[in-house]
Amino acid sequence: MNENGQTMDLMSLLPEELEALCASLGQPRYRAKQIFTFLSRGVWVDEMSSLPKDLRAKLSQIAENRLPTVEEKQISSDGTVKYLFRLLDGECIESVFMRYEHGNTLCISSEVGCPMGCTFCASTLGGKVRDLLPSEMLGQIIAAEKDMGERISGVVMMGIGEPLDNYDNVIRFLQLVNHKDGLCIGYRHISLSTCGLVPGIEKLANEDLPITLSISLHAVTDEKRSAIMPVNRRYGIDALLSACAAYYRKTGRRISFEYTLLHGENDTDEDAAALARLLHRYMRGMPIHVNLIRVNEVKERTHRAGTRQSAHRFAELLGTMGVNATVRRRLGSDVDAACGQLRRARAKKEERPS
Ligand code: SAH
């Protein structure tokens, strides 16, 4: 604890901030790099063998270990691993480890719960509890690497929460995860997905971070989008797609659009044609990609998934209209794959202990 009775969150500090801390403890600055590298491997202070004992003792006194612990783990037959992580205050979040030919990717959460209220999503059913700290986002990757014994080379921010609703912590997390003395994951291997918080998109465009921005679009008219995504009542499709075009002009980074297919609601041939027209109108000449996802059915909700064939037909139709689209493989479909379901099941169990 420090003099204000607060504990420090070491894993949220950048190396230069750790340097300042070391200096304030009368230690040489190079200790900061050692500490940062240890932390990024999931080694806590008491095991930092190359640090002097008195420094370890001091750090143990002032800081708390916020590395998430594995509360539950579901392993899918395709090798996908879904984690339920426990945080220091007892809250739970989810991450999903996925194997691709180009390397391992972790899908991470950015908040405990979610305030956005999308009607097809399990993560938002109980609302938002709190923001995740930078260390708690980073810690999901470190804890998963440690548990799997494998390196993670890509990150998608598509787990529980809305990253742009936790803007400052997310930016700091990105700086931490990219740092050469830490996990050193390239910005180009990181995707950030948003339901469409326009001011956040505008701010992100100025950060000069070459990450991939994903936009959860899911509908082509304001009426339909507002019905399934309350955020659309604040920032409609025109504001959102104008911000996307400006983002591309500023960053030169290809934008990807997520489109969750909800059977009988947004998946007709006419919807595909309207989607292509909409994207051409706002994003003409810019590289874009559409990811089609068959909705993971959430039992509290009425949305239903269509067939795989109809998803592929939707993709082909987009293709014939000049829009690059793929149907997202459903990794881990035999585990509780819809984000938020594992956390919800756990919360219910803890409400009514058997
Ligand atoms: N809040 C951010 C990131 C988290 S959601 C966002 O909205 O983009 C990650 C992606 O999963 C989003 O595209 C979201 O719309 C989608 N999604 C949420 N629930 C889903 C479900 N039940 N089935 C399919 N996709 C879902």
Q: What is the pLDDT of residue 351?
A: 72
Mean pLDDT per 10-residue segment, the chain (354 residues): 72 97 95 98 96 96 97 92 97 96 96 97 95 98 98 97 98 98 98 98 97 98 98 98 98 97 97 98 96 92 94 98 92 65 79 57
Looking only at the bridges linking them, the beta strands covering 288-294 and 325-327 are parallel
Structure confidence at residue 354 (pLDDT): 43
Two structure tokens written together for 42? 């999931």
- With beta carbons less than 8 A apart as the criterion, state whether 95 and 108 touch: yes
Atom of ligand 1 nearest to the CA of 162: 1
What confidence score (pLDDT) does residue 342 get?
77
Torsional sign, CA 328, 329, 333, 339: negative
> Which residue's CA is minimally distant from atom 24 of ligand 1?
295
Give the residue, out of 111, 228, 260, with the most ligand 1 atoms within 8 A of its beta carbon, to mutate for a pocket test: 260
The structural domains of the chain, ordered by start, are 10-62 (1.10.150.530), 69-351 (3.20.20.70)
Phi-psi label, residue 161: left if phi above 0, alpha if psi -120 to 50, beta otherwise? left
Amino acid identity of residue 151, one-letter, is: R
DSSP string, 175-211: HHHH-TTTT---GGGEEEEES--HHHHHHHHTS---P
Distance 241 CA to ligand 1 centre (A): 18
DSSP 3-state percent helix, strand, coil across the chain (nearest 5): 40, 20, 40
pLDDT at position 341 is 76
pLDDT recorded at residue 346? 80
Where does the chain have alpha helices with state H?
A: 15-24, 30-40, 53-62, 134-148, 167-178, 198-205, 222-228, 231-234, 237-251, 269-283, 308-320, 341-351
Closest CA to 107 of 193, 1, 195: 193
Tokens of 41: 């491997």
For residues 13 and 281, give the distance between their C-alpha atoms in angstroms, rounded to a whole number. 43
pTM higher than 0.75: yes
pLDDT the model gives residue 80: 93
Active site residues: 94, 339
Q: What is the pLDDT of residue 344?
A: 79
Task: Report the separation in Å between the CA atom of 216 and the middle of ligand 1, taken as the mean of its atom positions.
Answer: 7
Q: What is the pLDDT of residue 336?
A: 62
Phi, psi of 9, rounded to the nearest 5 degrees = -105, 85
DSSP-derived 3-state class of residue 99: strand
What is the structure's pLDDT at 324? 96
Looking at ligand 1, which residue's alpha carbon is closest to its atom 1?
162
Q: How far is the CA of 228 from the centre of ligand 1 (A)?
A: 12
* Rg of the Cα atoms in the chain: 21
DSSP H helical segments within 11-148, as ranges? 15-24, 30-40, 53-62, 134-148
Residue ranges lining ligand 1, Cβ < 6 Å = 116, 118, 120-121, 158, 162, 193-195, 216, 258, 260, 293, 295-296, 298, 338-339
Instruction: Using DSSP, state whether 326 is helix, strand or coil.
Output: strand
Nearest residue by C-alpha to atom 20 in ligand 1: 121
